[in-house]
Structure 1
Amino acid sequence: MAQGVARSGRAARFRGRLNGTAPRAALAPAPPAVPRGAVVLLGMAGAVVTIGGMRVVAGFLAPLLLALMLAVTVSPLTTWLRGLGTPTWLATTATVTTVYLLLFLLGGALVLSVARLIDLLPAYADELASLRGDLTGAVEALGGGGQSVRDLIATVEPGTIESVLADVLGTVAGVASNSIFLLAVLLFMCLDAAHLPDRLEVAQRERPQVVGALRSFAQGTRRYLLVSTIFGLIVAVIDTGVLWALGIPLPLLWGLLSFITNYIPNIGFVIGLIPPALLGLFEGGPDLMLSVIVLYSVVNFVIQSIIQPKVVGDAVGLSTTVSFLSLVFWAWVLGPLGALLAIPLSLLAKGLLVDVDPATRWIAPLLSGGSTAPAAPRSGPGRR
């Protein structure tokens, strides 16, 4: 009889485990949770290792990410051509040709701008010598300076400026030295982009959140480039007109340079301002240079610092502060191309680290621009 009672007791405990009603003493103890502080420290350590590795391979990684951004941007062209009944090989060829032409035009314009400025400097040797003398006299009249200041002023000559610009041109050439790798990777990515929508449909069945984050990154990148292109054209037209009215040489070239540098958030217009400001100094002295700086700053402050950040923030979901910090961070990690890719890379990081996980989506409103006020509670029965 005792054995029967024991067997019935074991049977009852077994049924309890199956039904989830077993006594607490019969359940295995839950494993201890990892302290949140340890999770944070491990995450920070992983981020440091990842960022350090990205800096080590920046020469390889930056062109690869640029190719990814360009492929994502032009992929709708392939889809549109295929929707019109164009053969896949012809649609892909048209897409690759289009993006190659854009790269050559923009890169060539940037190199031409620096090269033309270097060519123009020797013609202003007398003006620069006169300006150097006036500056030395002004410093001595103020009772300051000393030998160190006079030596510093003496170093300002066409050869010194040409050396600095040659270093800039060398940096641009160094970026362009990876062009063969960039063009090859871009070709393969454009070939894969023709079948990417079908592959994403298959992957979405297993990982809908990951695919949704990637699509959000792609749409945000296209919106950012579209907004930057529109505002870049506006700024380029206005800057060209201003330079033409002030009599600055080669206004069309500097307008094109301002269009290209508009893709670099926050500080792009400063880079585009340097050549016309220097030519203004040589052509008409400090007054003309100051006029160029003031007019450039007014135009770019109103358009790029007030209007454009608001539109970009609403388009891609990043605040102005996050955009600026992205520029500093990615330029430090990847070099010159990092400044150009700052916003798209931040969108990619946001998609893979924030949007992909429901547990971290609460961070998205903290990163976004514009108003994210919570919706008003709905009125229900008994609620007024």
Structure 2
Amino acid sequence: MTRLVARPPRPTLRFAGRGNGAGPGEPAGLPRGVIILLGAAGLVVTVAGMQATADLLAPVMLALMLTVTVSPLTQWLRRHGTPVWLAMLTTVVTVYVILFALGGALFVSVARLVDLLPQYQDQFAGLRDDLVSGLSGLGISAGQLRDLVAGADPGTVARLAEGLVGGLTGLLSNTVFLLAVLLFMCLDTVNFPARLQSVTGERPQVVGALRSFAQGTRRYLLVSTVFGLVVAVVDTVLLWWLDVPLPLLWGLLSFITNYIPNVGFVIGLIPPALLALLQGGPELMLTVILLYCAVNFVIQSVIQPKIVGDAVGLSATVSFLSLVFWTWVLGALGALLAIPLTLLTKGLLVDIDPSTRWLNALLSDSPVRDDAAARTRPAP
């Protein structure tokens, strides 16, 4: 007769829970330190993968941000009885107009700077000679100084600007891919809310995280647009008053760079400050820099981050670090997409899990109220 022998239960792998250990008679789990190291290793691999695919990932994220921005227009058209094909066409055209307007403004700004610089050949040479003379008075060899600044002329600066234009052209080399992704995302926008609604019962946390990302992105873009318009108008008036060439163009550049958190005004300051130096000398350049700092720094680096943080739930420190991180990962487009990408990451890693939502209080400037807990709390 065959004898039946009971097999011992297989050991189960447990992660260490509260208390960083297993209870009496329970199998030991992984130490919390090991779990943290594994998570850090996974994060490193993920970031390396994003860097390796930045040329594809950055346009897709830009397309996602633009689609999320205009999606309320699609839903508004559908609620008012607009045919599906017309709502799709309106969404696609709106997104394309926004994309080409922003890209074209940046390209025209740099191109106009390249065209203007050769006209200031004599002024540039005079400034170079004054610099050499001033430093020679401090005991520095004039010959060494002249060799050092020999290559500094409007042609050199123009070539640098042309290189920037070439970089922008390279950035737009994925235009066909970006336009295709935008087209398909805009087509999906019409029915995507209904699809989200259909899975709310099974995955409410996922749906809530995606909606939080979309709403936060729209609030961020709305606040940045309003502040960008204010900054653009003030900068244009100041540059016109100081008689700096092309004030409207540099005001438009200030509006676009306002979408780059914290340091966008520095990028928008460089062209008008350079032209002010060539047009009126160091005094005019310093005047432009001081006025820009007085207006743009206060608005864009002090007031705006606070309002943006309150609108999207991110502190000023987190916003700045996200700018540094996403620029390092995705390049130039990462600076423009820093806040939306941080909101998406927060939604998928923090908001999606009730056990990690306490991190929102650390990521925000003020304590975050848990609405779900508030709804379940008994009334006083």
Same fold (TM over 0.5): yes
Q: Given residue 327 of structure 1, which amino acid in structure 2 is its aligned partner? A: L
Equivalents in 2 of 1:62, 1:180: separation in Å? Answer: 14
How far off its partner does 1:42 sit? Answer: 0.4
Query: Which of 156, 163, 168 is the matching residue for 1:160?
Result: 156
Q: Given residue 325 of structure 2, which amino acid in structure 1 is its aligned partner? A: F
The residue number in structure 2 matching 1:245 is: 241
In the TM superposition, what whole-angstrom CA distance separates every residue of 1:148-183 from its partner, at most 9, and x where no partner exists? 543222221011101211111111111111111111
Equivalents in 2 of 1:130, 1:75: separation in Å? Answer: 54
Equivalents in 2 of 1:145, 1:209: separation in Å? Answer: 69
Counting aligned pairs with the same residue, the percent is 66
The residue number in structure 2 matching 1:337 is: 333
Cα gap change, 1:182 to 1:286, in 2 (>3 Å)? same
Matches within 5 A, 1:253-264: 253-264=249-260
The residue number in structure 2 matching 1:70 is: 66
Equivalents in 2 of 1:106, 1:246: separation in Å? Answer: 26
The residue number in structure 1 matching 2:172 is: 176
How far off its partner does 1:275 sit? Answer: 0.6
The residue number in structure 2 matching 1:212 is: 208
Q: In the alignment, does 2:269 pair up with 1:270?
A: no
Matches within 5 A, 1:52-71: 52-71=48-67
Equivalents in 1 of 2:134, 2:272: separation in Å? Answer: 24
How far off its partner does 1:147 sit? Answer: 5.0
Equivalents in 2 of 1:64, 1:189: separation in Å? Answer: 10
The residue number in structure 2 matching 1:16 is: none
Equivalents in 1 of 2:353, 2:145: separation in Å? Answer: 58
Equivalents in 2 of 1:163, 1:189: separation in Å? Answer: 38
Q: Given residue 63 of structure 1, which amino acid in structure 2 is its aligned partner? A: P
Equivalents in 2 of 1:236, 1:342: separation in Å? Answer: 21
Query: Which of 269, 290, 299 is the matching residue for 1:294?
Result: 290
- Return 5+ residue gaps in structure 1 as ranges: 1-27, 375-384
Equivalents in 2 of 1:58, 1:121: separation in Å? Answer: 33
Equivalents in 1 of 2:143, 2:211: separation in Å? Answer: 61
Taking only aligned residues, the RMSD between alpha carbons, in angstroms, comes to 1.8
- Return 5+ residue gaps in structure 2 as ranges: 1-23, 371-380
In the TM superposition, what whole-angstrom CA distance separates every residue of 1:189-210 from its partner, at most 9, and x where no partner exists? 0100100111001111111001
Q: Given residue 209 of structure 1, which amino acid in structure 2 is its aligned partner? A: Q
Task: Tell me if structure 1 keeps the 8 A contact 2:219–2:311.
Answer: yes
What is the DSSP-based 3-state SS (H/G/I as helix, E as strand, rest coil) of the residue aligned with 1:260? helix
Task: Tell me if structure 2 keeps the 8 A contact 1:217–1:351.
Answer: yes
Q: In the alignment, does 2:213 pair up with 1:188?
A: no
User: When the two structures are aligned, how many residues end up with a matched partner?
Assistant: 349
In the TM superposition, what whole-angstrom CA distance separates every residue of 1:299-320 from its partner, at most 9, and x where no partner exists? 0122112211111000000000
TM-score, normalised relative to structure 2: 0.89
The residue number in structure 2 matching 1:361 is: 357
Q: Which has the higher helix share?
A: 1
Q: In the alignment, does 2:309 pair up with 1:313?
A: yes
The residue number in structure 1 matching 2:139 is: 143
Matches within 5 A, 1:19-34: 30-34=26-30
Q: Given residue 309 of structure 2, which amino acid in structure 1 is its aligned partner? A: G
Q: Given residue 276 of structure 2, which amino acid in structure 1 is its aligned partner? A: G
The residue number in structure 2 matching 1:9 is: none
Higher CA-based Rg: 1
The residue number in structure 2 matching 1:18 is: none
The residue number in structure 1 matching 2:13 is: none
Q: Given residue 252 of structure 1, which amino acid in structure 2 is its aligned partner? A: L
Query: Which of 77, 100, 108 is the matching residue for 1:104?
Result: 100
How far off its partner does 1:29 sit? Answer: 5.5
How far off its partner does 1:88 sit? Answer: 1.0
How far off its partner does 1:144 sit? Answer: 2.7
The residue number in structure 1 matching 2:378 is: none
Task: Tell me if structure 1 keeps the 8 A contact 2:74–2:190.
Answer: yes
Equivalents in 2 of 1:263, 1:373: separation in Å? Answer: 28
Task: Tell me if structure 2 keeps the 8 A contact 1:125–1:157.
Answer: yes
The residue number in structure 2 matching 1:134 is: 130
How far off its partner does 1:358 sit? Answer: 1.3
Q: Given residue 263 of structure 1, which amino acid in structure 2 is its aligned partner? A: Y
Equivalents in 1 of 2:59, 2:78: separation in Å? Answer: 28
Q: Given residue 96 of structure 2, which amino acid in structure 1 is its aligned partner? A: Y
In the TM superposition, what whole-angstrom CA distance separates every residue of 1:17-57 from its partner, at most 9, and x where no partner exists? xxxxxxxxxxx954322210110000000000000010001
Equivalents in 2 of 1:50, 1:145: separation in Å? Answer: 52
